[in-house]
Amino acid sequence: MFLGRLSNLFKLLVIMGMAALYLSACAKKEEPCNCGAKNQCASYMTATDTSQALNLVIDETFSTDYQNKILQAVSEWNNYGATNKGRKLFLPRIGAINPATIPELDKCSFSGERNSVFIISDEAAQKWAALKLGANIPGVTIRCSTDGELDRQIIMLNPKILSPEYVVRVTIHELGHSIGLNHSCAEPEDVASDYLACAGLGKEHSYRQAVMFPRIEQNLWTEDALVDRESLQFNDKERAACILR
């Protein structure tokens, strides 16, 4: 209801909300240095078993508009999979979400399956706060591992924060996390030695144009060429090729 220009501008300046959570402090890394750029060696998360398509359940409480936009994002990844692996990466369906599959007080306090991803709608500020997620985060992917193996994961979107114009790009980003891609470059708080920092990347840099760039930055710098983050970019495709089975 307050999606006026000022509010959107505010969000663009403030939200950098697409977060991936590492819930396993010593998560096993892939061996990406055999593939892709050396300065993205650390830009992968606990591996997802992508040897078969992941079941993707989209919360039926999303509006039809949101559902369609989420499905558009899914199609981007599925088209990529069809072209590069000869099959879809996700098998989406709209459905009811079992409350047991939703985290409550602790990020990993939900049940799930290795082969499934749920995309849930949650507008309860107190829930996000309880999970220690910032109030301005439009979407998050929570991934839980045991002994370095991914057990279960869930994507939460907050339609109160996530305005319709960003649903496709945020969803495509979170789905990237769900297959094991971390951000294309590192935010100040997660700089690893072989993980290039986002700061200082020129606007033409492929890491900055990637859907896995950690920020919704369109218009943030008015001199930016607008990047269409509603479709996978070169760097996303290059890194995905390194991890897809």
Smaller CB separation from Zn ion, 82 or 192 = 192
Is 18 a binder of Zn ion (CB under 5 A)?
A: yes
Closest distance to Zn ion from the beta carbon of 169 (Å): 11
Closest distance to Zn ion from the beta carbon of 2 (Å): 25
Closest distance to Zn ion from the beta carbon of 212 (Å): 7
Which stretches of 158-221 are assigned E, i.e. beta strand? none
Closest distance to Zn ion from the beta carbon of 243 (Å): 16
Is 20 a binder of Zn ion (CB under 5 A)?
A: yes
Smaller CB separation from Zn ion, 13 or 82 = 13
Residue span binding Zn ion (CB under 5 A) among the ranges 13-21, 77-85, 110-118, 129-137 = 13-21
Number of CB atoms found within 10 A of residue 226's CB: 7
How does DSSP classify residue 71? Answer: H
Closest distance to Zn ion from the beta carbon of 125 (Å): 20
Smaller CB separation from Zn ion, 67 or 141 = 141
Closest-CA residue to 138 (of 110, 162, 102): 162
The residue count for binding Zn ion (CB under 5 A) is 2
Residue span binding Zn ion (CB under 5 A) among the ranges 11-19, 149-157, 221-229, 237-245 = 11-19
Is 15 a binder of Zn ion (CB under 5 A)?
A: no
- Helices and strands in the chain: count of H runs, count of E runs: 6, 6
How does DSSP classify residue 77? Answer: H
Residue span binding Zn ion (CB under 5 A) among the ranges 16-24, 25-33, 91-99, 116-124 = 16-24
Tell me the CA distances in angstroms from 165 to 20, 34, 155, 181, 227, one per residue in order: 21, 37, 18, 23, 14
Secondary structure (3-state) at 66: helix
Smaller CB separation from Zn ion, 78 or 171 = 171
Smaller CB separation from Zn ion, 13 or 100 = 13
Residue span binding Zn ion (CB under 5 A) among the ranges 18-26, 44-52, 106-114, 149-157 = 18-26
- Under 8 Å between Cβ of 77 and 71: no
Q: Which of residues 25-64 bind Zn ion (CB under 5 A)?
A: none
Residue written as tokens 């607008």? 226
Closest distance to Zn ion from the beta carbon of 102 (Å): 20
The Cα diameter of the chain in Å comes to 48
Interatomic CA distance for residues 121 and 130, integer angstroms: 16
Tell me the CA distances in angstroms from 14 to 101, 136, 220, one per residue in order: 30, 8, 10
Interatomic CA distance for residues 214 and 150, integer angstroms: 22
Number of CB atoms found within 10 A of residue 105's CB: 8
- Which residue of the chain is nearest Zn ion when measured via CB? 18
Interface residues with Zn ion (CB under 5 A)?
A: 18, 20
